[in-house]
Amino acid sequence: MYDVRSLHQLEDFVGTQFPKVALKPLIDGRETTSLARFYEEVFKAAPLVNQFGANPDALIDLIRTFGWGGYAGKQHVLSWFQPEAFLTREPLAFEMVLDIIVGVSKELLVGEELDPTFDPNDERDWVSTRLDVVFACNREVDAIAISELAQNLSDTWRDEFKSLEIPIEMMRSPRLRSE
């Protein structure tokens, strides 16, 4: 999304577009201009694990928890307000984080094994969980840059998901609440 001016506007949008989601973590990216700050903000938004390490593997594990236990099989929405602050300051770190978010969302969609007697050939042992991600930018140019980055996964995830496409939609923000 672009032309989003406030957290309230983003919260209204998510509440209207996704009224029956289980988890709706919101990352406030206005001051998120470093990888260390991103890890702090994402843990505040989605504290689903007790000990969260500030590294890529911990981020992967945190996002995977959206498909575990009582959260499995449900729809969740991760919203990130003004991600362009991080993209502008640390583009390589932002790309890595975005790659993880998109890659793990694909894992969740394929399904998580929940049964201790898990049989990969038994489709009943896989539970698909949907994680929608909403990036809310101020400017269209930033939204375009992020959507283009999200379509180009690293080799790590691309090798795992050769044919699974996730649609990316870009829209101008509707004015839902007067600011």
- The span from the CA of 82 to the CA of 70, in Å, is 30
Residue 127's H or E segment, with its range, is: strand 126-127
DSSP 2: B
DSSP 141: H
Q: Quick one: pLDDT at residue 71?
A: 87
pTM of the full structure: 0.83
- The span from the CA of 136 to the CA of 70, in Å, is 28
Averaged pLDDT of the chain:
84
Confidence of residue 178 (pLDDT cuts 50, 70, 90): very low
Q: Quick one: pLDDT at residue 114?
A: 53
Answer for the pair 178, 9: CB distance below 8 angstroms, yes or no. Answer: no
- In sequence order, what E strands does the chain have? 26-28, 75-81, 112-113, 126-127, 130-136
pLDDT digits (tens, 9 = 90+) for 150-169: 887 777 776 666 555 667 77
Across the range 89-118, mean pLDDT stands at: 82
- Give the SS3 label for residue 156: helix
Query: At residue 76, does pLDDT exceed 90?
Result: yes
Q: Quick one: pLDDT at residue 153?
A: 74
Query: At residue 54, does pLDDT exceed 90?
Result: no
Residues above pLDDT 90, as percent of the chain: 42
Q: Quick one: pLDDT at residue 46?
A: 84
